[in-house]
Structure 1
Amino acid sequence: MTSTLRFALLGLPLVVAGCGDFPEPMLHHPGRMGMLLAHPPPQRLVVPVPGRALLDDQSAVAFAHDLSNAMVAQTVPAFAQRPQRGDWVLSVSAALNGSTVTPSYSIIDPRGHVQGNITGLPVPSRAWADGDATALNDEAANAGPQLAALLSNIDAALKESDPNSLYNRPPRLEFSGLTGAPGDGDASLTKEMRQDIASLGVILVNQRDQADYLMKAHATLTTTGPDTQHIEIVWTIDTPDGKEVGKVTQPHDFPKGSLDTYWGDVAVVAASAAAGGVKEVIDNNIGKTSTTPPSPAGQTS
């Protein structure tokens, strides 16, 4: 068995890395930030002064600011001000229930349609009526994560209902090819990747303005010993506006010179593994997972 064939059968280790605020050890567990990035909320959410929240004017203004700050803490672009044309709106009301007041929140789209609701925690009625700053701030802090999750679900549901959304059509990828590999690696890996990624349901396009994602790949070869070399192939996936979505990295050590001519089965194995990783990066970016579909928009509590 030749050294090249051993390399092919062993395969290249695969590291799939998505972009975000989490390190590679947290891969596949992106947490709250990853979920928000997968289902981004509306571009702008306005929190007007609540007139039906059983608060005096000064306290109502303060509560609107508390809510907008709580939403900003959840990476939602929220503003405490009057709505303008095209704004999404957070509408706030409250109901007196004996010794407590329970606030309610509705997300309203620019057409004036309610897209989802949540109910806040009961607050002692005396503290609410007095506009107690700590009580109002605590209530806003509690509502913030729930409202961010609701916005995420609303956005996902709207995308699923859009026939032009990536939820309802295959992603389109422009792949510029691989560079830097020894021997015929550039041509072989590029050819195999094009075949493998297409077989996974990704449509390859030749023009960047037709693509949902752009991919480039580069191989770096280093000599690590008298008889060994190390190669690292990095497949980078970007959005058309240049934002990096994620990377698939394949590092491997192999006998020196064994890839200087033909890659053969090595290219087949490497491209097949990398294609699966690339598809995973794309699916994670558009919120598609095989086990956890986006929740429908609606009421949560």
Structure 2
Amino acid sequence: MIRVLPVRRLAGLAGAASLLLLSGCLDVPHPFRDPGRVGRSLARNAPPARLAIPLPAAALLGDDAAREWSRDMAAALLEQTVPALAQPVRPGDWWLRLGAEARGGQVVPTYSIMTPAGAVRGSGEGVGVPAAAWAAGDAEALRQSARQLALSIAGALTGIQADQMAQDPHSLKHRAARIYFAGVKGAPGDGDVALAQAFVASLRDAEDAVQESPREADFTVSCAVSVSEVIPGGSGHPQQHLQLVWRVVDAQGKESGAATQLHDIDAHSLDGHWGEVALAAAQEAAGGVRQVISRYSGRDNTPLPPPAGAPAVAKAQRQG
């Protein structure tokens, strides 16, 4: 979530349009979340539909505690929007191999991310836990260990997906996103037209290509503008509350994120010509929309390289 304090006065910013700030929040799904059939086709490289977590046999735990730890891990990964399930590995599953190592007076939890072909694609370890608490299957110790490991695992999975995209010449790491802009609705004055023209001009760059038709578009963007009733202004001038919501959906119509701009303006000051106000708002919105698309698609994520000394792993991982 990105939150920036709103600019209080939007009207009359001619010559100072760059002072506008994006306010509200950018709400986007976490990377590596399964976005569905059409979402997966954006990169032409499907992340795992689920991450299986079988019973960890080498975790230095009794069966009941091991089962509880795998459930804790699944819950912790779900909090990171990773589709994890504590269950046996099924054909086609990516899965998590959990373990633990005794080191002095502590037990260090470990993990390996396994491909459907059975290759290790990523691994790591967590913070040591007092050996007595671990051996006793202390519920809080297991839960905290799962939450700490989940952050590392989610980051590794994001890197794995980025590596898949990097290997795919058709992914959004190697081409501009095709975007259909459905226009602006609800703005007073000439805002619908002025905002639309300025937004299209601001969004086009090496990463984003605006097209005339929704056919084969990766994303569709639309903007809804609303103006509240006149409210008392601290300056003695009546004011209105202006809200612009730039919504981004994927090719299936699933929301990818939204950028919201909130401003108080002098009452009816935008009932006519928007001028440079439209340009400033559109430039700001284009940056927000670009962030939504980048986060949803994962095109800016850093690829996780294959494990050292295992060149065949990346190939097996991609085929899996």
**Could you state the TM-score of these two structures normalised by the residue count of structure 2?**
0.68
Q: Tell me if the contact between 2:198 and 2:278 (Cα under 8 Å) persists in the aligned partners.
A: yes
| Cα gap change, 1:67 to 1:186, in 2 (>3 Å) | closer
How many residue pairs match? The answer is 277
1:276 alignment counterpart: 287
Q: Which runs of 5+ in 1 are unaligned?
A: 21-33
Structure 1's 119 and 187: CA in aligned 2 closer, same or farther, altered over 3 A?
A: closer
- RMSD over aligned Cα, in angstroms? 3.8
2:194 aligns with: 188
Contact 1:219–1:231, Cα closer than 8 Å, also in 2? no
Post-superposition offset of 1:171: 1.8
User: Is the contact made by 2:243 and 2:263 (CA closer than 8 Å) also made in structure 1?
Assistant: yes
Q: How does 1:181-260 map to 2 (within 5 A)?
A: 181-199=187-205, 201-221=207-227, 224=230, 230=240, 232=242, 234-240=244-250, 241-243=253-255, 245-249=257-261, 251=263, 253-254=265-266, 256=268, 259-260=271-272
Work out the CA distance in 1 between the residues paired with 2:133 and 2:284: 59
Give 3-state SS (helix, strand or coil) of 1:239's partner.
strand
How much has 1:209 moved relative to structure 2? 4.4
Quick one: distance in 2 between partners of 1:236 and 1:181? 13
Q: After TM superposition, give the deviation of residue 143 of structure 1 in Å.
A: 2.5
1:296 partnered with 2:307: no
Gap change, CA 1:229 and 1:199, over 3 Å in 2: farther
For 2:256 and 2:262, how far apart are their aligned partners in 1? 18
| Cα distance in structure 2, aligned partners of 1:143 and 1:274 | 36
Q: Which moved more, 1:67-76 or 1:105-114?
A: 67-76
Partners in 1 of 2:258 and 2:135 — Cα distance? 50
Where do residues 1-301 of structure 1 align in structure 2 (5 Å cutoff)?
A: 6-11=12-17, 13-20=20-27, 37-40=30-33, 42-97=48-103, 99-123=105-129, 128=134, 131=137, 135-199=141-205, 201-221=207-227, 224=230, 230=240, 232=242, 234-240=244-250, 241-243=253-255, 245-249=257-261, 251=263, 253-254=265-266, 256=268, 259-260=271-272, 262-287=273-298, 294=302, 296=304
C-alpha displacement of 1:183: 4.1
Which letter maps to 1:37? H
Call closer, same or farther: CA 1:110–1:252 in 2, change over 3 Å.
same
CA separation of 1:199/1:63 partners in 2, compared to 1, >3 Å: closer, same or farther? Answer: closer
3-state DSSP of counterpart to 1:92: strand
Query: Per-residue displacement from partner, 1:148-173 (whole Å, max 9, x unpaired)?
Result: 33323333333333333323322221
Task: Write the distance in 1 (CA, Å) between the matches of 2:117 and 2:106.
Answer: 33
Cα 1:119–1:298 shift into 2, 3 Å? farther
TM-score calculated relative to the size of structure 1: 0.72
AA aligned to 2:217 is A
| Preserved CA contact (<8 Å) 2:98 2:110 | yes
Letter in 1 for 2:254: G
CA distance in 1, matches of 2:146, 2:269: 63
